[in-house]
Structures are given as structure tokens and as C-alpha cells.
A and B are shown apart, each in its own frame.
Chain A
């Protein structure tokens, strides 16, 4: 058997296993270098605690139940804010993508609001809501709204008009046309919006929690700063990174599941 005949089989056998691991090589190397730098004293402990110290701090907080409590609070705020802002953005995207009238009525206003950085509203939001839950939910929802709105709108507007004409020729009514042609056609773009929105969701939450909160990961970090617990500060940052990664992986998995027809998601 020639080498050319063997090659494809070897590739298909190895690729998935390597793929799963390769993405973790760089974080692992960074962790090792970091540990080495701290242990040798190259980086002083008050600037940067060693990964093992961070892990220890994490363990202590975990045992006391504080960590789980704070992660849960942040996760709850993030997902509820995302659901509220995302649904409203999706609804406006649909309405403005499907109806000329709705688009004429609201699009200009929304585009103006979009250009205000939503974090600039923090002082106003504190005046309105205090440091209540609703303040955080409002900010997250506002931040998430725009990427979902814009990408849903874009997705619907760019559905191939030839496919829509085809659907009409074959007797699809509006609801069926939406279900079979418009929505699936807009889905790839909607997912782009979701992934942007997830990034904005964490950013907004961190800022909101560090400024005005009495619980949550951001609050935990600020609290630790007061007491010079640098290991807890670093721990919070790492947890944010991890949660961000989890959210991104979840949306990718959903993408793979629903866009399996798309050439970009097909196995080769």
C-alpha cells in the first residue's frame, strides 16, 4: 500500500485527539512559566501570587461556600440579563427585518442609542436602581441587546431573495416561509450576534459588580483588594476567563448542532 493511500486514514484517526489537546497547550505553558517565575522569586509574591497559592485560595473559598455562592450570583445575573436583553434584541431584529414600517419607526432611534457606550450609564443607573439586582440586570440587558439586534436584523435582511421567491412559488404562507426559509437563513448571523453578546455580557457584569454590588465575583475581587488578598483577586480574574470560555463553548456547540448543514461546520 502506498503512502498516499495510508495518509487520509492516519489523519482522520489522529486529528480529533490532537485537536482536543492543542488548544490547552498555550494556557498550560503560561501556567508553568508563571509558577516557575514565582517559585524562583523572580516575581515577588505581593505583585503576583503563584498559581498554587491561587489554587489554595480558591480551595479555601470553596470549602467556606463563599466561592460557589458568588459564582452562582454572577452566573444568575449574567444569564437573566442576557435572556432579557437578548430576547428584546431578537424581537426588534425580527420586527425590523420583516416589516418596513417597524424598521422606519424604530431603527434610527436604536442606532442613536447604540452609539452611547452603555457603561456610561452606570451613574444614572445607580441613581435609578441603587445597587440593587435590577441595576446589574439592566446594564447587562442593555449591553447584550445591540449585538443581537444588529445581527438578527442583518441576518434577516441578507436571506437570499431567490430562496424567498422560491418559497412563495411553492405556496409557502408567511409563517411557513419564516420557519423554513427566513429564520434558518438568518441563523448563522444570529449566532455571530450571540457570541459578541456573550463577551459584552461578562464585560458589563464585571464592571457593574466592581462598582456597585454586595455579592458576586466582581464584589469578591473588590473585597479582596481591600484586604490585600491578591491571590483572591487573581482567582476572580481567572474564573471570569473560565466562565467566558464556557459560555463561548456552549454557543459553539449550539452552532454546530443547528448549523450542521453549513459547509463551514461539516466534517471533512
Chain B
């Protein structure tokens, strides 16, 4: 690394520290993580993974290694098994055959999941919903303070005493993100977390996700049906077809990434062609 590069990086890091919720700037701080920066994330190795529901084999042999701190997006047509893969990684279901191992010994708090639905308790305040995320530390003395700082992280500190029912869809999902992050997980599994949001809210949530991933250096696995979301956020895109990893694509585009830039669009087009067959990304007009 040249001196100039490292100077630029330290400048970028300085921006990270005082990064406000301003999304323009948040996007600008999504600089590529310097190689020597130690990631808190866990690495993940999957060997010969299969999963059947009755006679229906959903995953037919997945082998995969994810280095610590990588942001991996998993795309594929509906029913291809991508959500099943994520549920197995998150430990919500047990594999039929095969193993999933993390680089180190893990606690339950190290791996967190976020779903398409926020799954907030409607009868608990926003703050106590975030406290739920502390797992067995829920009863500790600093639980409230930790929940508050997680809420501040997602920009919702002033909503702490509200009921979830008064929040908008995007705000609910941000509370769910705070709940997932409050225990400082080392792996975050995201199952189409932005799928139910409108386009503009989705973009600002993507920026928020990118920022917290950059700041907290966890390993991130995002299942999505939105290829542009995948290439905007991920280091690597996996395309799943018929229960197998059909393509493993490195997203070698420098951060910060410019939404709508030519190289992102080109990559998105080629992934879509992989997914749907040649000519499938044409609009049909």
C-alpha cells in the first residue's frame, strides 16, 4: 500500500467516526475495508450441505467458504433454496446432511438474523424490543444503555418510548436492525430484510446496512431477490439454482459505490443474464 493510499484511507476512517445519519455521507464512507483492519466477523465453512423437506430436496450439495468480515449476497429465483440456506446458516433449521462450521466457537449472541417482517413485539416499547436482542444479557444493568446506543446507531433514539404500531415500515425494520445489532453479532444473516419496503426507503436502508457493516466489521450474508441491491452492497454475489451454487461472482468494484454507475449496471446485467438466461434482462419492449 502506498503512502498516498493509506493517507486516503485514514481520511476515510476519520469520516466514519463522525458519520451522521446523513445518507449521502454514509454512502461516501463505505470505503473498502483496509486489509490489515482486523474484522470482528466469523469465517464460515459449509461442506456437502443438503436439506430435504419430506421427499423434496431443496439444497443439493452446497460447499462454500466465507472469509471473516465478507459481505456476501445470495440471489436466485424464488424457491431456489436461498432462504433455506440462510436459515441453516443461522441455525434455525438443522441440515439433513453436511456441516456448517464457524471459524471459532460461537455463542448464540454471535449470530443474528433479520427477516423480511420486522417481528417486533407490538406490546413492548421500541426500547424494550431492542433489549430483547441482548439475549441472555437482557437482565444486565447496562441493558438499557446498550439498547439506547443501538437505537441511536440506526437513528431512532427519539422513538424509544413509542409503540411499534406507530412506526412506518422502514422505521420498524430499523428497530429490528438495532435489535439484531445490540449484541454486537459477528455474523448477521439477512433474509430479504428490505423486500417489503418502498423503493426510496429501501435505498436509505441499504446505505444504513452498508454503514453498520463497515463500522462493526461483522460477516454479512444477505438473501435478496434484488440484484441491484446485491451488487451495491456485497463483496461477492452467489447465484443459487436448483439447490446448488451456480455462480460465485466477485464484486470487484471499489467503494464507495455510485448507485447507477456503469460498472454496477454492467455487473447487474450479467448476473441477471445468469439468473434468467440470455436476453432476459431486456424489458421486452
The answer to whether A and B belong to the same complex is yes
Closest residue of A by beta carbon distance from B132: A170
Tell me whether B165 is interfacial, beta carbon within 8 Å. Answer: yes
A-contact 0/1 string along B123-136, CB 8 Å cutoff: 11000000011011
Please name the residue on chain B nearest to A181 by beta carbon: B121
A263 with B165, Cβ < 8 A, contacts A165-B92, A170-B133, A170-B135 known: yes
- Kindly state whether residue B122 has any CB partner on chain A within 8 Å: yes
Does B231 touch A at the CB level, under 8 Å?
no
> Which one of A162, A184, A260 contacts B115 once the chains associate, using CB atoms below 8 Å?
A162
Question: Would you call A171 and B135 a contact (CB within 8 A)?
Answer: yes
| A169 close to B165 (CB less than 8 A) | no
Q: How close is A236's CB to chain B, nearest CB, in angstroms?
A: 41
Inside 8 A of A165's CB, which chain B residues have their CB? 92, 119
**A246 within 8 Å of B by Cβ?**
no
Contact of B165 among A166, A171, A180, A261 (CB under 8 A): A261
The yes or no answer to A237 lying at the interface (CB within 8 A) is no
A31 close to B (CB within 8 Å): no
Complex CA–CA separation, A170 to B91 (angstroms): 12
Main secondary structure of the interface of A (DSSP, over half): helix
Chain B residues in 8 Å Cβ range of A162: 115, 117, 119
Asked if B208 is at the interface of the complex by the 8 Å CB criterion, the answer is no
Query: A residues within 8 A CB of B132?
Result: 166-167, 170, 172, 180
A2 at the interface (CB under 8 A from B): no
Please, which residues of chain A bring their CB within 8 A of the CB of B135? 170-171
Known A-B contacts A261-B165, A266-B165; A166 and B136 likewise in contact (beta carbons under 8 Å): no
How many of chain B's residues touch chain A, expressed as a range?
Answer: 20 to 34
Whether the pair B121, A169 counts as a contact (CB closer than 8 A) is no
Interface residues of B in 102-160 (CB under 8 A from A): 108-109, 112-113, 115, 117, 119, 121-124, 132-133, 135-136
Given A263-B165, A266-B163, A266-B165, A169-B122 contact (CB < 8 Å): no
Bound-state Cα–Cα, A262 to B166, Å: 10
Number of interface residues of A (CB under 8 A): 20
Choose one: B112, B113, B122, B179; the contact of A261 (CB below 8 Å). Answer: B122
Interface string of A252-268 (1 = CB under 8 A from B): 00000001111100100
Contact B113 A169 (CB under 8 A): yes
Which chain B residues lie closer than 8 Å to A261 at the CB level?
122-124, 163-165
- Contact flags B154-186 to A (C-beta < 8 A → 1, else 0): 000000000111100000000000010000000
CA distance A181 to B122 in the complex (A): 9
Which residues of A line the B interface, CB within 8 A? 162-163, 165-167, 169-172, 180-181, 184-185, 187, 259-263, 266
Considering the complex of A and B, which 10 residue pairs feature the smallest CB-CB distances, nearest first?
A184-B123, A171-B135, A166-B119, A261-B123, A261-B163, A263-B165, A170-B132, A171-B108, A162-B119, A171-B136
19 new A-B contacts, CB < 8 A, other than A170-B135, A185-B123, are: A162-B115, A163-B121, A165-B119, A166-B119, A169-B112, A169-B113, A170-B132, A180-B124, A180-B132, A184-B123, A187-B123, A260-B163, A261-B123, A261-B163, A261-B165, A262-B122, A262-B123, A263-B165, A266-B163
* Residues of chain B at the chain A interface (Cβ within 8 Å): 90, 92, 108-109, 112-113, 115, 117, 119, 121-124, 132-133, 135-136, 163-166, 179
